[in-house]
């Protein structure tokens, strides 16, 4: 139960912003182009901006506070270390997710379901399930190793 709370604290705020990003991006792209493939990829970009914007901001803020409490400065090296940790946690899963799984899910469900927006949301959640399996494993490994 403690781990589920920890994962929720880490990922739910980012998921909320990512959901806003995917719906906004996909809807705007579909409105202007009428092309579901373009909508899927723009949706992925919107989701990534929302999701990783929150994750990066929170991780940087937490790391900066930790360094300040220890009387250390926070500079470029610490910033790059934060980015490195994010790549360890998300990198492999994100590459597969953004290039293949998520665009496919967004496209397929938006084409298969009668309401475009519902298809985008369903596709997003199906892709999330596939995405979070390796992400949570990497997160737990990162905590143990780092």
pLDDT of residue 146: 73
Instruction: Note if the pTM is more than 0.75.
Output: yes
pLDDT recorded at residue 1? 85
pLDDT in tens, 101-117: 999 999 999 999 999 99
Question: What CA–CA distance (Å, rounded) separates 21 from 48?
Answer: 8
CB 93 within 8 Å of CB 135: yes
């Amino acid at each position: 139960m403690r781990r589920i709370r920890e994962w929720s604290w880490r990922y739910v705020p980012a998921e909320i912003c990512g959901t806003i990003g995917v719906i906004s991006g996909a809807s705007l792209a579909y409105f202007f182009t009428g092309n579901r493939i373009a909508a899927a990829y723009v949706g992925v970009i919107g989701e990534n901006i929302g999701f990783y914007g929150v994750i990066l901001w929170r991780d940087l803020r937490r790391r900066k506070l930790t360094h300040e409490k220890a009387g250390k400065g926070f500079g470029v090296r610490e910033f790059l270390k934060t980015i490195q940790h994010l790549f360890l946690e998300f990198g492999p899963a994100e590459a597969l997710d953004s290039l293949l799984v998520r665009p496919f899910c967004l496209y397929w469900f938006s084409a298969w379901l009668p309401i475009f927006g519902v298809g985008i949301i369903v596709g997003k959640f199906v892709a999330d399930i596939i995405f979070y399996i390796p992400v949570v494993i990497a997160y737990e490994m990162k905590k143990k190793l780092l």
